[in-house]
Amino acid sequence: MDIRVTGLTKRFGSTTALSDVTMNVPEGSLTCFLGPSGCGKTTLLRVIAGLEDADSGAIMLGDADLSHTPARDRNFGVVFQSYSLFPNLSAAQNVAYGLECRKWSKADIRVRVAEMLELVHLEDQRDKLPAQMSGGQQQRVAIARALAPHPSLLLLDEPLSALDAKVREELRHEIRAIQQRLGITTIMVTHDQNEALEMADQIVVLNAGRIEQAGSARALYDRPRTRFVAEFIGAINTFTVQDPQTDPHLGTLRLRTSEPLASSTVGVRPEAIKVLGDAEEADNVFAATIEKATFLGNMTVLHARLEAAPDQPVVFEAHGPADGLEAGRKLRLGIAAGDVKDLA
Ligand SMILES: Nc1ncnc2c1ncn2[C@@H]1O[C@H](COP(=O)(O)OP(=O)(O)O)[C@@H](O)[C@H]1O
Ligand SMILES: [Mg+2]
């Protein structure tokens, strides 16, 4: 079932951790809460889990209002960053624990534990204690334990952030594959944009306790509504525009956009900036000088200065070694009107 959160507010003393948060997690999807440290991701997850009471707002699972249901009655599976397994119980006993609490029969528990350990590829580790397993294996057990009682929602709080890069990559794929195979509605907290881009159906970008924007990776990348979102998801050049509503100018040049601008801040993704040949035209053409060229193998990162707006530096990329594009070189840069994004 889908999860709907409306008007959630949560304060800790004078800190407002969540401010009027409203969002929806569609059934069977994976939604990532993405944002910098301290923006309220964990608090939002804990309020949804019932581990923390909100000051106001509601949490609905389908048609059922869960706002005042205790955590143990919500039937949600929760996985934390690390060290959440019982250290004195084996992998199999950890997975069995929640089923014993729910008074499952011994026979049912045996079948379910075997099934869950197989799901996370740990059949051969069933009798190991947490301390005898790697961090990645421990997180797999934690996921198996969370999924064992058939939860209606899986909640993961930065489950990969304590793992090294290679294991993190593997587990990203594995969590996503398990989530899709089971079709379980899932919320995962992360501060890692790549993790969110790679795994999520929906990304909810949080900033200082508020939702900046929610949508698919593609929607947030193509149509960021704010500078915060544009800079948090991918890289972007930002420019200040004069007279945005009446006669938009970037420095001394008229700026063409596909729609009228509402704000004076615009963004252009690095890949939308093209080096033009002598006879080539574009909606917006800027004379520029390269200030720095950094060769990185598969691409060269170029820092340039626009003649029309020398105080607003531009960074873009060229494929491969980009012969001839060295510091001091003058060139023309093209930007299509549709690639100029209006940022609040
Ligand atoms: N138990 C608590 N007591 C006091 N302040 C808290 C508590 N939990 C979180 N906060 C504060 O609420 C804000 C959001 O924290 P948190 O949800 O943990 O952020 P994130 O998970 O995005 O890093 C922070 O300012 C944090 O210091
Ligand atoms: Mg957190």
CATH of the domain at 84: 3.40.50.300
Query: Do 155 and 196 have their domain in common?
Result: yes
- Gap between the Cα atoms of 7 and 24, Å rounded: 12
144 within some domain: yes
The pLDDT of residue 84: 86
Residue 237 binned pLDDT confidence (cut-offs 50, 70, 90): very high
- Gap between the Cα atoms of 343 and 261, Å rounded: 9
17 within some domain: yes
Cα separations (Å) of 294 from 120, 146, 289, 302? 43, 46, 15, 6
234 within some domain: no
Closest-lying ligand to the alpha carbon of 39? Answer: 1
Residue 156 has pLDDT above 90, yes or no: yes
Work out the average pLDDT over 332-343: 96
Task: For residue 305, give its domain range.
Answer: 244-343
Q: pLDDT tens across 274-309, in order?
A: 999 989 999 999 999 999 999 999 999 999 999 999
Residue 105 binned pLDDT confidence (cut-offs 50, 70, 90): very high
Query: Do 316 and 174 have their domain in common?
Result: no
The response to whether residue 16 sits with its C-beta less than 6 Å from ligand 1 reads no
Query: Do 300 and 165 have their domain in common?
Result: no
Query: Do 104 and 177 have their domain in common?
Result: yes
Q: Which numbered atom of ligand 1 lies nearest the CA of 40?
A: 17
Q: Which numbered atom of ligand 1 lies nearest the CA of 209?
A: 14
Query: Do 298 and 335 have their domain in common?
Result: yes
Q: Which numbered atom of ligand 1 lies nearest the CA of 46?
A: 17
The response to whether residue 300 sits with its C-beta less than 6 Å from ligand 1 reads no
CATH of the domain at 290: 2.40.50.140
Residue 83 has pLDDT above 80, yes or no: no
The response to whether residue 53 sits with its C-beta less than 6 Å from ligand 1 reads no
Query: Do 289 and 206 have their domain in common?
Result: no
Residue 157 has pLDDT above 90, yes or no: yes
236 within some domain: no
Query: Do 68 and 173 have their domain in common?
Result: yes
Query: Do 205 and 157 have their domain in common?
Result: yes
Q: What is the CA radius of gyration of the chain?
A: 25
The response to whether residue 12 sits with its C-beta less than 6 Å from ligand 1 reads yes
Residue 58 has pLDDT above 80, yes or no: yes
Work out the average pLDDT over 205-211: 98
11 within some domain: yes
Among 73, 70, 52, CA closest to 8: 52
Query: Do 111 and 175 have their domain in common?
Result: yes
Query: Do 144 and 262 have their domain in common?
Result: no
And the tokens for 38?
């301290």
And the tokens for 118?
């197989």
Contact between 186 and 154 under an 8 Å Cβ cutoff? The reply is: yes
Nearest Cα residue to atom 3 of ligand 1: 12
User: For the chain, what is the domain count?
Assistant: 2
